[in-house]
Chain A
Amino acid sequence: MRSRLLGDTSVAALAARAVLGGVFVFLGLAKAIEPVEFLKQIRQFELVSQPPALNLIAAVLPWFEVFCGALLVAGVRPKAAALPALVLLVGFTAAVALRAVGVQAASGLPFCQVRFDCGCGAGEILICAKLAENAALGLLALVVLIAPIRKEERPAAPPG
C-alpha cells in the first residue's frame, strides 16, 4: 500500500508540502500560545476592532493555521489544505502591506526599512523580507495545488 506521504510523487510537491506545512505549524503555534498578544496585534491593523469578529479571528486563526499545516505535513488532502493556506497568505500579505504603507507615511522611512510586529508569529519583521517570504510561501502553495498525483496502480486483470 502506497504511503500517504508519497501520495504526491512529485518531489517538488513533497518538498513544498513539508516546508509550507512546517511553517504554518510553527507560526500558528507561536500565535496560539499567546492569543492575547495576537488579539492586540490584529486590532492595530484596524480592519476589525470589536467582538465577536476580533475575538474570533484571534482565537481561531492560529489553530486553523496549525490544522492546515498539519494536514500538509501529513499529506492528508494536501490540495484541500493548500487552497485555504493560499487564501490566508494572500489576505495576510495584503493587510501587512497596507499597514506598512501607513507606517511609512507616518515615519517617512523608505518602504523597505519599515519594520514592525505584524502579528505573524515571528516578532518584529522588515516589511520587504516579509513580503518576499509570503510570496515564496504562496508559490509553494501553488506548487502543491497544481502538482499532479499518480493514480493508484490498478490490480492486473485475472487470466482467462
Chain B
Amino acid sequence: MTRPPVRSVAAQSLIVTLAGIAAGLIANALSPRGISLTRDYFPDAARATPAPAAPPASTTTPANEPPAPTPAAVAAPVRLARSGIPLLDHARSLELFRDPRRAEGRILFVDARDDRHFQEGHIPGAIQFDHYRMEKNIAEVLPACQIAEQIVVYCNGGACEDSELVALDLLQLGIPATKLAVYLGGIAEWKRRGLPLATGERSPQQPIPR
C-alpha cells in the first residue's frame, strides 16, 4: 500500500479545479436557468445606502405573526424615495385592488417573483415581471405598464428587494416614477390578511390590456 506524492496530488487537484471551473462555465452557459456573468443584478440604486446588517435570525414566534422589519426593509423606502417611487401600505394597496379601473387595465399589479412563487399564488390579475429573467415577459409587461395609470409592484414583502429592483427596472425602461409604487407588505401580508389569491400562470380570461 502506498501514498502518492503530495506534489502529485496537488498538481492533479489543480487540474481538477481548472476542469471543474470549465465544466461550471459550460453548464451555466447551457442551462436555461443560467445567469449572466457580467450583468449587475443589484444596480447602484439598490446600493445607494450602506449594506444592511445581517437580518435577524428566525425565532420561534408563531408563523402567523408578521415578521419584524429587517434592516433591508427599512433601507428600501430610503432608496425608493431617492428615485421618487412611493411605498404603499396595505390599506392603499387594497383600495387600488378594488378600484374598478383595475379591470380596465388602468391599475396594474406587477408581481416581481420567479415563476414558481408566482404560480403558487399571486394577487388576482397581477402580471409577472422577474428582475432576473426580464427578457421572459418584457414584451407583454412594458405595453401594459405604458397603458396603466398606476402600477403597484410587489414581491414577498419583508426583506425581499425584488419589488424595489423591478420598480427601478420599469423606471429605467421609461415608465414615469409618478405611475410606480411598491407594496412593501407584499404577498406575505396579502396572505396574512386572508385575501384572495390566483394560482397558475396568468389566466387566458385575464388578457393583458393592450
Render A9-34 as a binary contact track against B, CB cut-off 8 A, 1 for contact.
10000000000000000000000111
CA–CA, A71 and B12, complex, Å:
12
B120 to chain A, nearest CB (A): 15
Q: How far is the CA of A43 from the CA of B54 in the complex (A)?
A: 11
Known: A61-B24, A81-B16, A103-B57. A56 touches B37 (CB 8 A): yes
Main secondary structure of the interface of B (DSSP, over half): loop
Determine whether the beta carbon of A148 is less than 8 Å from that of B1: yes
Q: Quick one: closest A residue to B23, CB to CB? A: A67
Are A35 and B13 interface neighbours, CB within 8 A?
no
- Across the interface, do B54 and A99 meet the contact criterion of CB distance under 8 Å? yes
Asked whether B54 lies within 8 Å of A106 as measured between CB atoms, the reply is: yes
A99 smallest CB distance to B (angstroms):
6
Q: Which residues does chain B contribute within 8 Å of A83, judged by CB atoms?
A: 9-10, 13, 16
User: What residues on B are CB-neighbors of A51 within 8 Å?
Assistant: 36-41
Q: Check if A116 sits within 8 Å of B55, measured CB to CB.
A: yes
Asked if A52 is an interface residue, CB under 8 A from chain B, the answer is: yes
A64 engages B24 (CB within 8 Å): yes
Q: Which residue of A lies closest to B47 (CB)?
A: A49
| A133, CB-defined interface residue at 8 Å | no
- For residue B34, CB closer than 8 A to chain A, the reply is yes
Contact assessment for B57 and A107 in the assembled complex, using a CB-CB cutoff below 8 Å? yes
Knowing A63-B28, A80-B12, the reply to whether A43 touches B42 (Cβ < 8 A) is: yes
Contacts of B25 in A (CB 8 A): 59-60
Within the complex, what minimum Cβ distance (angstroms) separates A28 from chain B?
Answer: 10
Report the count of interface residues on B (CB-CB < 8 A).
42
Q: Find the B residue at minimum CB distance from A63.
A: B24
Q: Are A58 and B35 CB-contacts (below 8 A) given A49-B51, A149-B4? A: yes
B196 contacts partner chain A, Cβ-Cβ < 8 Å: no
- Which of B10, B12, B27, B53 has a CB less than 8 Å from the CB of A32? B27
Q: A49-B42, A64-B20, A83-B13 are in contact. Are A55 and B54 (CB under 8 A)?
A: no
User: Within 8 Å of chain A (Cβ to Cβ): is B114?
Assistant: yes
Q: What CA separation (Å) do A59 and B59 show in the bound complex?
A: 31
Chain A residues with Cβ under 8 A from B39's Cβ?
51, 55
Contact A109 B36 (CB under 8 A): no
Given A32-B27, A49-B51, A79-B9, decide whether A149 and B21 contact each other with a Cβ distance below 8 A: no
Task: Please tell me if the beta carbons of A148 and B2 are within 8 angstroms of each other in the complex.
Answer: yes
Q: Does B15 contact A (CB under 8 A)?
A: yes
Residues of B near A55 (CB, < 8 A) are: 35-39, 41
**Are B16 and A84 in contact, with the CB atoms below 8 A?**
yes
| Residue of A60, A62, A99 touching B21 (CB-CB under 8 A) | A60
Q: Does A151 contact B (CB under 8 A)?
A: yes
B119 beta carbon closer than 8 Å to chain A: no
- Chain B: minimal CB distance from A41 (Å): 12
> What are 13 inter-chain pairs, A to B, with CB distance below 8 A?
A34-B33, A35-B28, A35-B35, A51-B36, A51-B39, A51-B40, A67-B23, A77-B12, A79-B13, A103-B54, A104-B57, A106-B53, A116-B57
List 7 extra interface pairs beyond A67-B23, A146-B3, CB under 8 A.
Answer: A35-B34, A44-B54, A55-B35, A64-B23, A68-B16, A148-B3, A149-B1
A contacts, CB < 8 Å to B: 9, 32-36, 39, 43-44, 46, 49-52, 55-56, 58-64, 67-68, 71, 77, 79-81, 83-84, 99, 102-104, 106-107, 109, 113-116, 124, 145-146, 148-151
